[in-house]
Amino acid sequence: MNLRRLTLICACVWLASCGPNGAATRLVYEGQATTSPAGFEIWELSIQEGVATGTPVRLTSHAGDDVDANWGEAAARITFASDRAGNFDIYTMDADGSNVLPLTTDAGMDRFPTWEPNADHVIFASDRDGDFEIMIMEDTGPRQAQLTSNNCLDTDPAWSPNGQQIVFVSNCAGGTDLEIFVMNSNGTNPTRLTNRPSMDDFHPSWSPDGTRIVFESVPSGGSAHVNTKIVVMDANGANQTVLLTGSVTGDLVHPAWSPDGDELVVAMVDGSGDYNLYTMPATGGTPQQVADLPLTQWAPDWR
């Protein structure tokens, strides 16, 4: 697994778009700051009908990188990963950026936290045993346990909307290609969903009704997101359909669903050469830029 690829799939974005009856919704995302400290920080943005309704709100401001943002229950809290203490650990904060609390303090790298729907657990990926595994903990930090234990890579987990399954990325099927797997929420019955030779599949995201999964697929062995495809499939891996294909100069990454399941948000290279946020119909179509934001903005979560 290329370390550059691992870094890229970590980046986190929080976005918002249209809710019922055209109401504004919110995106949370990972973006580069233009003022000091100028690393990656967590931002919030309200959007309506696919475009921003205001200016981004910076939720974190730290010399380290803050990434992998994910909404908690009722969008009241956010979990994210940060290396502000010198090593990537999992943190939580209120939705306005206040009350930041560390959940892990392990010497290994902890990334990709995802809150359990309507419950009190967080899953995440950690390399504390020598390679990345999927782990679970209470959302206050204690009682941490491994859900996978393999001599290969298991990472980038996401809960199903009903909390009964976890989708994740793994190369445990043999070879080096990364594929999408699903398992029960207790770690049992891991099942391979994708088998795309010479492609690495990343960043799976469940539709709000739990019937579909969208993900990013890129030619394996690359050092950057080049010729990426956004692919959607049924939750059992059937009916895999390419919705959008990028290019060397206009690539796209990190798909996530709108709250109603009708749209997707992706990060795509804009005219300046940076990644910016775009929305598109969940059935495919032309992406629409959310806002003309500076530098790289990506890895969204939409509520």
| 234, β-bridge pairs | 212
Inform me whether the pLDDT recorded for 8 exceeds 60. Answer: no
* pLDDT digit string, tens, across residues 191-246: 999 998 889 999 999 999 999 999 999 988 755 566 789 999 999 999 999 999 88
**Letter for the amino acid at 17?**
S
Domains of the chain: 3-302 (2.120.10.30)
* 39 three-state secondary structure: coil
* pLDDT digit string, tens, across residues 56-96: 999 999 888 999 999 987 778 999 999 999 999 999 999 99
* pLDDT digit string, tens, across residues 106-131: 999 999 999 999 888 999 999 998 99
CA distance 178 to 169: 6
Task: Decide: 17 and 25 in contact? Cβ < 8 Å.
Answer: yes
